[in-house]
Structure 1
Amino acid sequence: MTFSDLGLSAAVLRAVTEQGYESPTPIQAQAIPAVLRGKDLMAGAQTGTGKTAAFTLPLLDRLAAAAQGGPRRVRALILAPTRELAAQVQDSVRVYGAHLPLRSLAVFGGVGIQPQIMALRRGVDILVATPGRLQDHLDRGSVDLSKVEIMVLDEADRMLDMGFLPAIERILRSVPAKRQTLLFSATFAGPIRQLAGRFLHEPEAIEVARANATTEAVSQSVYLVDHARKRELLSYLIGSRNWRQVLVFTRTKRGADRLAVSLAKDGLTAAAIHGDKSQGARTRALKDFKRQSVRVLVATDVAARGLDIDRLPHVVNYELPDTPEDYVHRIGRTGRGGERGEALSLVCVDESDQFRAIQRLINMPLTVDTVDGFEPESAFDPNRASGKPPAKRGAGNKVGRRRPPQGGQPVRGERGRPQAAGSKPGPRARQRRA
């Protein structure tokens, strides 16, 4: 099947072809015809399956086919949980709508509201927004949603997790009752079904992957290590294996900042991204990471939700998430678009409960290993319940047969660049260590 088989217009197909896409993903193949028929949709797909194009392409097609004269009014509204995802959806709208006479705008917090108000006054056809900032515009009377024809709730499960239900309910009351509503979610848990039951009309249900499944394109590894030595091990793995682009997850904003600073001291270019960073700082960090001028991006779950990074090879769980579903979202940042990826988790004895919860959720065992020189001082088996005898040291396979440099620092070559294991350090590196 090709995109031309889905009923899209020539202008949209031209934009798709210009991006080098030929065949739709499963979620696109099922969702696009349904949206073009005007049906409400309840779609479930794991991250990285192409869901943004699944609603963007037919949305653009439907709006262009029913072009209206006079002042521009918001005819399509797309809600997204985070600033980053809203910005990326807006990018997709611009790219796929390059040959259509439609105007779009993204509004989110962390930046000034006045430029957004001026842009809304000039008129837009498609509005991409985070719930909080859109509610601010509703309070100010700077946005009119009375002409919305198509409403999209992107990553609805995450928006509910973040406490946006009251804002979503108010927004849905501000759009016409007669509209097409598209709900996309990684899971169809009870709250999502309740939301769909209240605001969707006889929706088609599409689910292209088992809920909470992890993609086969991602290899998953687990290394046991004491919490105090996690940073050393992370630096060593990045340096000795010559990883050039790594997304690292921490549980807290403060932890993300501290880790980024420590990695920089180890000679690795790193930046942190989280909710306390200004939008400008977050945008710069993501841009630098995508072009690989920053080697390690340290992120919290909320900030990284919806990040779309082409061909990201490595994701590291520096700390396991408190919610096992977040593990699935985290590792879904890699192994996208037909590429393979690697997800690695550094697990200490205090994270046994989270580890077991993750394995129950994904319904598969994860192989546990250690790295020579970084074995935990208190041997433990993360699969055993608290209070039971620990596993004997040596359980699981040993990896990384080479001993780490002193202090666990990455192996450095000339200009302080970490080298692959087994390579000889340059003369400048030898002088620094002398």
Structure 2
Amino acid sequence: MQLSDAIQEALAAENYHTPTPIQGQAIPHLLEGSDLIGCAQTGTGKTAAFALPILNKLEQKRRRADACAPQVLVLSPTRELATQISDSFRTYGRHIKFRSTTIFGGVGQNPQVRALKRGVHVAIATPGRLIDLMEQGYVDLSQVTTFVLDEADRMLDMGFMPALKTIVNELPEKRQTVFFTATMPPKVAQLAEGLLNNPVRVEVAPESSTSERVEQRLMYVKQGDKQALLEHSLQGEGVGRTLVFTKTKHGADRLAKDLNTAGIRSDAIHGNKTQNKRNRALENFRNGRLQVLVATDVAARGIDVDDVTHVVNFDLPIDPESYVHRIGRTGRAGKEGIALSFCDFSEHGALRAIERLIRMSIVVDVEHPFHVEPRSRGPRGPRNGGGNGNGGPRRKYGKPYGRPANGGGKRNHSGNAAGEHGEGHGGSKRAGGYTPTTSESADRPKSYGQGRGGAKRPGGKRPYGAKSKRPNRGER
């Protein structure tokens, strides 16, 4: 590839001699100045795929960095990913004269403001803090020549669409735009269409695929036995650095505390932790002081830690795409990895969604001491038409609550808007495309009626003004 001698020297020092597939496909187009959509999982070398051409352009042009006016803007969904991208720029550009800064929340803004005032060529930012500094007059995006949106799908999942629109409106129309995503659902494709101009598309893996180097195992277990199963699994042969994912921040903290009590060195990382605590936990995990890092999905993407031998889905993710991103933390750089998924009876729906996405049935491990048989799932195999493996209808558990999903905007028993995924009957999405999460739906009081026009349940309220049929027990 036509990269400068200074960059080639930095790559040689890192022992990088052969580009990864995404780098081999993307770098030539980016060197030519084309807009690009890159669809690649994490761990494929995509950071270098956009960082190297940007550094090459900076060295060739050697423009002075003006105060508060970066020439390159890289947007990242999380602080951790922004920090890692910044580290990559410094590593690959060690022999190039350029200045960069990382802009994110959770820390004081003064060091970031001072760096911007001195002038930077590259600004790597999360959307929230970037907009804060823009509103204060510390960031001017009118001179941006290259705009990189990394982990675009995750950005939308985290609700950054309004922030993205605000930022993009401040960018010059004439620019190079680089768009990287691990998955390409319709909303991400729509965003890309509005941002890029005649883009080249490169793809190194189907967006719903999992790494072939990751051995996936499914372990049926009661919710109350999950911690004991985790402790048992961590004592297995070949288990080293392990990432454990939970659904909630509180659950992550509680699990890390319980593991430490059991003698397993652990810490938790999630959005409520201060930046210093998150950095400390990551550094301790990298250098081997911790065996286990317990995380919510904030750490499922972009956390670049070498030699993770196991990923454990302590709780199955509600969003099936998060499963792909979670287990992508292991089996990287040509190494093998193992992903264990604990599944309680209540998580069968999430499991089916995951298996539909990855187009395979996860192998069940029945050898562990806490195994329980799933309820009437039948033989596991291809799910043609949603049957139970024997050609019969799948058995349903639990009673639906709320209004029946047979009209526009009415809700089904899962808490999603009917018709959101094509499973309702004429339902429509909410205005703005917002769909409450399962946890939000679970907080609502249940309605045991059947909606307008439905039959009243026995023992319901009597008509207004009707007399009670109860015997008169006299005055009290």
Question: Is TM-score (shorter-chain normalized) higher than 0.5?
Answer: yes
After superposition, residues 119-130 of structure 1 pair within 5 angstroms as: 119-130=115-126
After superposition, residues 379-394 of structure 1 pair within 5 angstroms as: 381=377, 384=388, 385-387=394-396
Match of 2:85 in 1: 89
Task: Give the C-alpha shift of residue 336 in structure 1.
Answer: 1.0
CA deviation digits over 1:228-284, x for unaligned, max 9? 000001011112436231000001101000100111111000000000000000000
After alignment, is 365-374 or 33-42 more displaced? 365-374
Equivalent AA in structure 1 for residue 100 of structure 2: S
Match of 1:10 in 2: 5
Residues 1:19 and 2:14 are matched in the alignment: yes
After superposition, residues 35-50 of structure 1 pair within 5 angstroms as: 35-50=30-45
User: Quick check: 1:86–1:129 contact (8 Å CA) kept in 2?
Assistant: yes
Partner SS state of residue 106, structure 1: strand
Equivalent AA in structure 2 for residue 349 of structure 1: F
Change in CA separation of 1:372 and 1:186 when aligned onto 2, cut-off 3 Å: closer
Task: Give the C-alpha shift of residue 143 in structure 1.
Answer: 1.1
> Percent of aligned pairs with the same residue?
49
After alignment, is 74-83 or 45-54 more displaced? 45-54
Change in CA separation of 1:187 and 1:115 when aligned onto 2, cut-off 3 Å: same
- Within the candidate set 326, 340, 350, 2:346 is matched to 350
User: Quick check: 1:79–1:154 contact (8 Å CA) kept in 2?
Assistant: yes
CA distance in 2, matches of 1:15, 1:226: 51
Partner SS state of residue 189, structure 2: helix
User: Quick check: 2:7–2:95 contact (8 Å CA) kept in 1?
Assistant: yes
Partner SS state of residue 177, structure 2: strand
Match of 1:321 in 2: 317
Partner SS state of residue 191, structure 2: helix
Equivalent AA in structure 1 for residue 95 of structure 2: H
Match of 1:29 in 2: 24
Equivalent AA in structure 1 for residue 43 of structure 2: G
CA distance in 2, matches of 1:255, 1:320: 13
Change in CA separation of 1:264 and 1:39 when aligned onto 2, cut-off 3 Å: same
CA deviation digits over 1:108-166, x for unaligned, max 9? 01101111111111111100000111011111111121111100000001101111111
Partner SS state of residue 141, structure 1: coil
Equivalent AA in structure 2 for residue 17 of structure 1: A
Task: Give the C-alpha shift of residue 341 in structure 1.
Answer: 0.9
- Within the candidate set 60, 64, 68, 2:55 is matched to 60
CA deviation digits over 1:41-94, x for unaligned, max 9? 011012211111110111110121111136464110000000000000000010
Match of 1:74 in 2: 70
Partner SS state of residue 100, structure 1: coil
Query: Any gaps of 5 or more consecutive residues in structure 1?
Result: 1-5, 389-434
Change in CA separation of 1:371 and 1:320 when aligned onto 2, cut-off 3 Å: same
Partner SS state of residue 313, structure 1: strand
CA distance in 2, matches of 1:204, 1:377: 48
- Within the candidate set 296, 301, 304, 2:297 is matched to 301
User: Quick check: 1:76–1:151 contact (8 Å CA) kept in 2?
Assistant: yes
Equivalent AA in structure 2 for residue 348 of structure 1: D
Task: Give the C-alpha shift of residue 371 in structure 1.
Answer: 3.5
TM-score (norm 1): 0.86
Task: Give the C-alpha shift of residue 171 in structure 1.
Answer: 0.8
Residues 1:180 and 2:152 are matched in the alignment: no
Change in CA separation of 1:372 and 1:320 when aligned onto 2, cut-off 3 Å: closer
Residues 1:367 and 2:400 are matched in the alignment: no
Name the count of aligned residue pairs: 383
Residues 1:330 and 2:323 are matched in the alignment: no
After alignment, is 191-200 or 27-36 more displaced? 191-200
Query: Any gaps of 5 or more consecutive residues in structure 2?
Result: 381-387, 389-393, 398-476
| Structure with greater contact order relative to length (CA < 8 Å, sep ≥ 6) | 1
CA distance in 2, matches of 1:356, 1:200: 35
TM-score (norm 2): 0.78
User: Quick check: 1:313–1:341 contact (8 Å CA) kept in 2?
Assistant: yes
CA deviation digits over 1:293-336, x for unaligned, max 9? 01100000023321011121110100100011000000001111
CA distance in 1, matches of 2:198, 2:283: 41
- Within the candidate set 175, 178, 189, 1:193 is matched to 189
User: Quick check: 2:65–2:120 contact (8 Å CA) kept in 1?
Assistant: no
CA distance in 2, matches of 1:299, 1:355: 20
CA distance in 1, matches of 2:316, 2:137: 42
Larger helix fraction of residues: 1
CA RMSD of aligned residues (A): 1.5
Match of 1:247 in 2: 243
Residues 1:219 and 2:215 are matched in the alignment: yes
CA deviation digits over 1:217-238, x for unaligned, max 9? 1111111111100000101111
CA distance in 2, matches of 1:225, 1:59: 49
Partner SS state of residue 370, structure 1: coil
User: Quick check: 1:36–1:58 contact (8 Å CA) kept in 2?
Assistant: yes
Change in CA separation of 1:265 and 1:377 when aligned onto 2, cut-off 3 Å: farther
CA distance in 2, matches of 1:42, 1:100: 27
Partner SS state of residue 44, structure 2: coil
- Within the candidate set 132, 135, 145, 1:136 is matched to 132
Equivalent AA in structure 1 for residue 35 of structure 2: D
Task: Give the C-alpha shift of residue 372 in structure 1.
Answer: 4.2
CA distance in 2, matches of 1:70, 1:355: 50
User: Quick check: 1:31–1:54 contact (8 Å CA) kept in 2?
Assistant: yes
CA distance in 2, matches of 1:35, 1:378: 50
After superposition, residues 153-164 of structure 1 pair within 5 angstroms as: 153-164=149-160
